[in-house]
Structure 1
Amino acid sequence: MRNLFYPLLVALALPLTGLAQRGGGQGFTQQFNQGSVLLSSGDTISGPLALHRGEETLTMTLPDNTVRTLPAVNVQSFAVRGEQYDRSRERFYYDDFYAMRQGYYSGSPAFGGTPPPRRRERADTNLTRVFRVYRWNRDNDYSDFKAPGFFEQLSSGPVILLRREGLVERPITAGNPYGYGSYSGMPGRPIGYYTEVKDNFFLGLPDGTVLPLRTPKKDLPNYFRTHARQLAQYAKANDLNYTDARDLAYLVNYANSLQEVK
């Protein structure tokens, strides 16, 4: 286990300059068969791991079968693999962000201009996922209070694309693909709800702050304002979608490369 994640956690230590309440993430827990956690103390521990999204905590089963609870304040970063597969997610959800975490973008000389495989036809939960801890205001623009939270790293730096997942409830109405069988309610009125996972994107800035990308197609060019036109041209030439996690990681890496050559 230590051999699997140790090189990755060494890199992470280096600075980089249930049912939900409607719209929330309460009760959202993800289980992973393997995990390795870099603690705030600099120590690492490994074992099966559960990520409790709403509580911003990890629980890890240690070799002696005891369970250790790790709040975000005690964690620097962690890597996981082997998530219990969620069949309710679309099949391409478990994508490989390894190349993007190394700085890949389409046409990048460092990668020979050859993109990694576009997507996997089957879910591969053995792909390593990397999480970092940032202090944030829980996406509340009117609060100055910041607490540590877990963010998944999808790109390289110095500006990093981050992702947080949450559960949201969607209404089922007549004609909705989730609304099976007969319908006798009022038109347009929900006959029930279903729960799905929603991606929320952020930029992790070099000073340690977090910038939400509520509308990535607008917010990303606004941050990289000097290179907004080049970003738009790059997105069009490579048919990139600002709401797709993989495509957005390409765009952030490309924007970082423009910052380097200015």
Structure 2
Amino acid sequence: MKRNWFFRVIMIGLSALCSLAAQAQRGGQGFTQQFNRATVLLTTGDTLTGPVQLHRTEETLLMELADNTVRTLPAVSVQSFAVQGEQYDQSRERFYYDDFYAMRQGYYYGNPLYTQPIPRRRERPDTELVRVFRTYRWNRDNDYSDFRAPGFFEQLSNGPIILLRREGLVQRPVTATGPYGYGYGGAGRTVGYYTDVKDNFYLGLPNGNVISLRNPKKDLLAYFHGNSRQLEQYAKDNKLSYTDARELAYLVNYANSLNAGKSK
């Protein structure tokens, strides 16, 4: 009985490592997301609709048109786009597929303009929720470069200073946590790596540039330094986290309400 249990644990561990290796291999080919429906607003003012592939690394959309042709849309030719119907990723925590509609309209805790209750998190992930992306110029997080190229950023809040999110691939370690067990990112001997998706936050400025929030609390308070004490108190009173996308959107909307936004 113990022997069967031993081999079963070994097989589960090997299966997990093989699965993670496959994820890493896919990640090495670039980061692509498929959406069943999209509406794309071009810089020319034209609008296109249809299924779309978002190629994150290349900053490009591939859209299937009604005549069954495929059109390549680089970020430089796209003003914004809205998508729905992404294939559900079982590896993501369910709150990732959150509804940012109210936040994109300017909602924040205590806003007297909103008479409806605070939007609650959905119990189940809903990939039919509309996600909105906008094009901004950025230096690809290279602090030593003044060159800024167009890139796609997801809009999470209202403006004039907008909370933005970019998803990127990151390598995380698989560790041996015991004689027959495996863990992800914990203490122990590293036995391999797997590819995960990491959220990175930014502030979108009215001039079309972005500011990276590498340390969301520190960098957000630094940008809105004229109202940093009010922001800190607001976060404390409402138990808001600076690293949760939904709650960070509330904080940015509140900061905008204080007229603390400024262009740089």
In structure 2, distance between residues paired with 1:200 and 1:25: 19
Q: Matches of 2:182 and 2:158 in 1, distance apart?
A: 50
**Residue 182 to residue 252, structure 1, CA distance change in 2 (3 Å):** closer
1:95-244 paired onto structure 2 within 5 Å? 95-112=98-115, 114-117=117-120, 119-175=121-177, 181=181, 188-244=188-244
Paired-residue identity, %:
72
Amino acid of the residue matched to residue 165 of structure 1? E
Q: CA RMSD in A?
A: 2.3
User: Counterparts of 1:25 and 1:253 in 2: how far apart (Å)?
Assistant: 36
Q: Distance in 1 between matches of 2:34 and 2:222?
A: 36
| Distance (whole Å) between structure 1 residues aligned to residue 215 and residue 130 of structure 2 | 27
Residues 182 and 204 of structure 1, relative CA distance in 2, 3 Å threshold: closer
Match of 1:171, as an amino acid? P
- Using the alignment, how far apart are the partners of 2:51 and 2:203 within structure 1? 29
TM-score when normalising by structure 1: 0.85
Deviation for aligned residue 1:110: 1.4
1:59 counterpart = 2:24: no
SS in 2 for 1:166: strand
Q: Secondary structure at the match of 1:152?
A: strand
Structure 1 residues 101 and 190 mapped into 2: Cα distance closer, same or farther (>3 Å)?
same
CA contact under 8 A between 1:25 and 1:53: conserved in structure 2? no
Aligned residues: 236
**Distance between the aligned counterparts of 1:182 and 1:137, measured in 2?**
38
Deviation at 1:25, TM superposition (A): 8.3
Residue 46 in structure 1 maps to residue 36 in structure 2: no
Q: State the shift of 1:193 in Å.
A: 1.3
CA contact (8 A) 1:162 1:204 kept: yes
Name the SS for the 1:109 alignment partner: coil
5+ residue gaps, structure 1, are 1-17
Deviation of 1:189 after TM superposition, in Å, equals 3.2
Report how far residue 175 of structure 1 moved: 2.2
List alignment gaps of at least 5 residues for structure 2.
Answer: 1-21
Answer whether contact 2:137 2:210 (CA < 8 A) is retained. Answer: yes
**Scaled by the length of structure 2, what TM-score is found?**
0.84
Letter in 1 for 2:33: Q
Change in 2 beyond 3 A, CA 1:45/1:180: farther
Which of 227-236 and 108-117 deviates more?
108-117
Write the deviation string for residues 56-99 of structure 1: whole angstroms up to 9, x where unpaired.
00001111111111000110000000111111100111000000
Shift of 1:260: 6.9
